[in-house]
Amino acid sequence: MSSAPPPIIVLVRPQLGQNIGKAARAMLNFGLTEMRIVAPRDGWPNPDAGPAASGADLVLERAQLYDTVAEALADCSQVFASTVRKRDIVTPVVGPEEMAQAIHGQPGRSAILFGPERSGLATEDVVLASHIVTVPINPEFGSLNLAQAVILLAYEWSRQATLVQPTRFEVEPRAPQAELDGLIEHLDGYLAQVNYFNPPERIHATRNTIRTIFTKPGWSSRELKAVRGIIRAIAQPRIRSNSSNS
Amino acid sequence: MSSAPPPIIVLVRPQLGQNIGKAARAMLNFGLTEMRIVAPRDGWPNPDAGPAASGADLVLERAQLYDTVAEALADCSQVFASTVRKRDIVTPVVGPEEMAQAIHGQPGRSAILFGPERSGLATEDVVLASHIVTVPINPEFGSLNLAQAVILLAYEWSRQATLVQPTRFEVEPRAPQAELDGLIEHLDGYLAQVNYFNPPERIHATRNTIRTIFTKPGWSSRELKAVRGIIRAIAQPRIRSNSSNS
């Protein structure tokens, strides 16, 4: 058994309470109990969730509600976005097995993001993730619903939890997402000052690219701090000299 | 890919047409197309099945109807009964992985039996099977429904069907080392200018730390170029303003 904490299941803008209940049931079947719900369409609690949970009320009672995906991920070191690959995003794509291995090898908290029933995760949600996780389904008939996607990934996590594995915990844990957000905001502030986001219509895509690039390393808290120090060292003197010029 | 035929899914006395449809959908998601239905409570075809199949109509259209389990299994070489272990039966119990291995290793037809929604398989059904297959779920909350049991076993079969294939790392290749060296030298030059390597006896350790941090991401050529652009953007204006001051 790995001693890494189980993943948190994050439902992003779920539509039907029934599907939230089914997801809770799917989780509890494989021993997952932490659900976070971001901006559910019909509010929370939702009276349709309980009956669909078939007894997994524990999961629903403990579910935490968030306004934004970023807040729901603030304490997570490793985030998997459950989606098919997106054309415009270079986030690495892994299968369920690689995801489960990575979760079992990560001493920090891991989260798995699931999008709304109809549309799935938006690009803005996916860029917050370190990896995309895609269940390899029949290419001619891909149609997993929310609870099915949850149960398959929960199963894979559970399957690997029971495999005996040499733990290689010498790796420093990835920093919580909030620290990465700090670095990116910091960088973004400097870049805005030097007019990096130009032309303005590209700003959104450019920000996504930057986020993807700096999410990829999986830096620890110590490393993130060092990178912030480096960025500050390079940028600060300019700012000092600029302000003395003005 | 194994050349063994895919398993046949046999639904024994299913109750709701909706669940038959959901099972068809679960099958087709992982490339299984042969369903056999034994003595369905509400007859066959069932108008509730189609809508629940979400497009897996092919499976429903081809489904074969049987009066008895024995007839449905007549051409099968290997039969797995999906159920929890039965006290009174000595049939060997395997997990989903061992089941999938056995199916992939079996040139004859294999079948997986699933019981009615409420009661599950009867002893008389289970004794027809060569093995019991049990999904290892949370012992304190075991509640897989029919479609969930089908999808997990279909997934496991599919997972092992594709195992021999090299994993598809569509991720961009890591940049050649020389490009990483370029970034690090670039950064090093800026840092030296801002007196970052201070005290001087720490310069070697600090350089090693920086190299480790920037090696970790495994950035592609494209990403490295973007990072160099970001560093340049932050640092250049200062250098320009410095040189105009000197």
Mean pLDDT by 10 residues, chain B (246 residues): 84 98 97 98 97 95 96 89 80 92 88 94 88 91 90 96 52 76 90 86 84 84 93 73 41
Contact B242 A242 (CB under 8 A): no
A125, A229, B175 from B167: Cα distances, Å: 25, 37, 20
Indicate the length of chain A as a whole number.
Answer: 246
- Count other Cβ atoms within 10 Å, centred on residue B221: 14
Contacts of A190 in chain B (CB under 8 A): 234
Q: Which residue has the tokens 């019909």?
A: A42
- As a whole number of angstroms, the longest Cα–Cα distance in chain B is 95
Minimum-distance CB partner of A29 among B137, B171, B237: B137
Do the chains contact at B230 and A237, CB–CB below 8 Å? Answer: no
User: With an 8 Å Cβ cutoff, are B171 and A98 in contact?
Assistant: no
Taking the C-alpha atoms of residue A177 and residue B34, their distance in angstroms, rounded to an integer, is 45
Higher pLDDT, residue A182 or B241: A182
Reduce the secondary structure of B102-126 to three states and give it as a string: HHHCCCCEEEEEECCCCCCCCHHHH
B233 with A151: Cβ contact below 8 A: no
pLDDT for position A216: 86
| A221: nearest CA partner in chain B | B213
Of B28, B234, B236, the CB nearest to A138: B28
| pLDDT tens track for A139-178 | 888 779 999 999 999 999 999 987 644 444 446 788 998 9
Phi then psi for residue B156, to 5 deg, are -65, -40
Q: In the predicted model, is pLDDT for residue A74 greater than 70? A: yes
Tell me whether residues A25 and B143 touch, CB distance under 8 A.
Answer: yes
SS3 at position B131: strand
What pLDDT score does A84 carry? Answer: 81
Average pLDDT of span A22-42: 97
Reply yes or no on whether the pLDDT at A197 is more than 90: no
* Residue B243 pLDDT: 43
A-to-B residue pairs, Cβ atoms closer than 8 angstroms: 155
Which range among A211-215, A235-239, B167-171 has the greatest average pLDDT? A211-215
Question: Distance between CA atoms of B4 and B2, rounded to whole angstroms?
Answer: 6
Residue A60 has pLDDT above 50, yes or no: yes
Q: Do A143 and B55 touch (CB under 8 A)?
A: yes
Quote the pLDDT of residue B61: 97
**pLDDT at residue A5 above 80?**
yes
pLDDT at position A78: 92
**Is the predicted pLDDT of residue A42 greater than 70, yes or no?**
yes
Q: Is the pLDDT of residue A246 over 60?
A: no
Can you give the pLDDT at residue B171? 56
